[in-house]
């Protein structure tokens, strides 16, 4: 079967978020952390005195500053990545997704096709949210099929195991925050699984947790168990992709750890990034081109 791409007929303006969180580059890292946490975003756009975009400050950059021992009152311009990467509102989502993949970035900022002015931002969760919306509107969706008693299920639906990243890295509860930051950087993860003395899942330490810890002044030599988040959100490898995405959206989390059989034995991780890279909806209806997604202005 030749795979058809659900994103093919959709443009960036359908998925982008219109609100862009900006902060002057001379504001402190502490101010930046507060802004990111308040607005529940993974990065902010740094602007100059004329409010022109000059860089991006992400949770990864903040973690790097924490690891390096940079004072929390240092200006954002010390850690921002410059220049910010842009796409256009009229670009296809497929093109934008490929740009994100090749540039190894989590987000793009969006410029108006004509004026070039900043009009939005596009990140992996935005793409997943749009696909999830189309799935629920689709006549082949699991929700709509359940409303038709006696209607035989004839679609293959994506399971978590098809899109998850196999393998799980973990650290023990007595590991230091410095050790976690080194592992997150080495593996390019957004969060690390933390295990108890018996090797069972005990918690998760994310870059969000580290940013808050940095702001509160806790030394990087502190033990992970002091700041890790609980519980560990997980799902079965054979769970429907649609159900897993719904859980992440409702719980406002970016990943689920995946188990198979024994809930204490994790075999992989499903993130919103993985779901977006699938480039399709939650079933093979899109893949087989039975459903055509139109991009309406």
Q: Across the chain, what does the average pLDDT equal?
A: 88
pLDDT tens-digit readout, 90-102: 999 889 989 999 9
Residue 248 CB partners (closer than 8 Å, separation 6+): 233, 254, 255, 256, 272
Note down the domain range covering 231.
160-277
One domain, residues 115 and 206: no
Residue 273: CATH number of its domain: 3.10.580.10
Residue 138 lies in a domain: no
pTM across the whole model:
0.86
| DSSP for residue 141 | S
Predicted confidence band of residue 264 (pLDDT cuts 50, 70, 90): confident
Residue 184 lies in a domain: yes
One domain, residues 234 and 166: yes
Contact 14, 295 (CB under 8 A): yes
Contact 210, 180 (CB under 8 A): yes
**Domain end (from 62, 95, 123):** 123
DSSP-assigned letters across all residues of 183-231 = HHHHHT-SEEEEE-TTS-EEEEEEHHHHHHHHHTT--TTSBGGGT-B-S
pLDDT at residue 119 is higher than 90:
yes
One domain, residues 23 and 100: yes
Residue 87 lies in a domain: yes
One domain, residues 28 and 104: yes
Residue 251 lies in a domain: yes
Residue 242 lies in a domain: yes
Residue 40 lies in a domain: yes
**Domain end (from 100, 123, 146):** 123
Total structural domains within the chain: 2
Cα 8 vs. chain centroid, distance in angstroms?
21
Residue 288 lies in a domain: no
Residue 270 lies in a domain: yes
pLDDT tens-digit readout, 203-212: 999 999 999 9
Question: What is the four-CA torsion angle of 31, 33, 35, 39, rounded to 10 degrees?
Answer: -170
Task: Report how far apart, in Å, the C-alpha atoms of 197 and of each of 50, 157, 174 are.
Answer: 54, 38, 9
pLDDT tens-digit readout, 40-86: 999 999 999 999 999 999 999 999 999 999 999 999 999 999 999 99
| DSSP for residue 152 | P
């Amino acid at each position: 079967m030749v795979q058809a791409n659900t994103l093919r007929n959709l443009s960036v303006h359908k998925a982008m978020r219109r609100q862009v969180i900006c902060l002057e580059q001379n504001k402190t890292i502490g101010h930046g952390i507060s802004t990111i946490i308040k607005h529940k975003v993974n990065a902010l756009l740094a602007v100059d005195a004329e409010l022109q975009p000059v860089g991006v400050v992400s949770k990864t950059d903040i973690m790097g500053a924490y690891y390096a021992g940079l004072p929390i009152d240092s200006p954002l311009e010390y850690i921002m990545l410059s220049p910010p990467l842009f796409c256009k509102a009229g670009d296809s989502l497929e093109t934008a997704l490929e740009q994100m993949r090749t540039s190894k970035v989590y987000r793009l900022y969006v410029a108006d096709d004509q004026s070039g002015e900043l009009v939005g931002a596009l990140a992996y969760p935005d793409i997943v949210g749009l696909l999830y919306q189309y799935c629920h509107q689709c006549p082949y969706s699991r929700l709509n099929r359940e409303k038709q008693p006696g209607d035989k299920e004839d679609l293959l639906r994506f399971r978590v195991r098809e899109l998850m990243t196999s393998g799980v890295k973990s650290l023990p509860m007595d590991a230091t925050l410095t050790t976690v930051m080194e592992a997150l950087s080495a593996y390019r993860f957004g969060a690390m699984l933390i295990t108890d003395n018996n090797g069972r899942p005990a918690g998760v330490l994310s870059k969000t947790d580290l940013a808050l810890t940095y702001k509160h002044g806790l030394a990087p030599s502190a033990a992970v168990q002091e700041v890790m988040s609980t519980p560990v959100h997980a799902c079965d490898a054979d769970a429907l992709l649609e159900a897993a995405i719904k859980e992440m959206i409702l719980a406002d989390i970016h990943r689920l750890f995946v188990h198979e059989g024994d809930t204490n034995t994790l075999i992989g991780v499903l993130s919103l990034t993985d779901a977006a890279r699938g480039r399709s909806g939650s079933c093979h209806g899109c893949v087989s081109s039975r459903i055509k997604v139109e991009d309406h202005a």
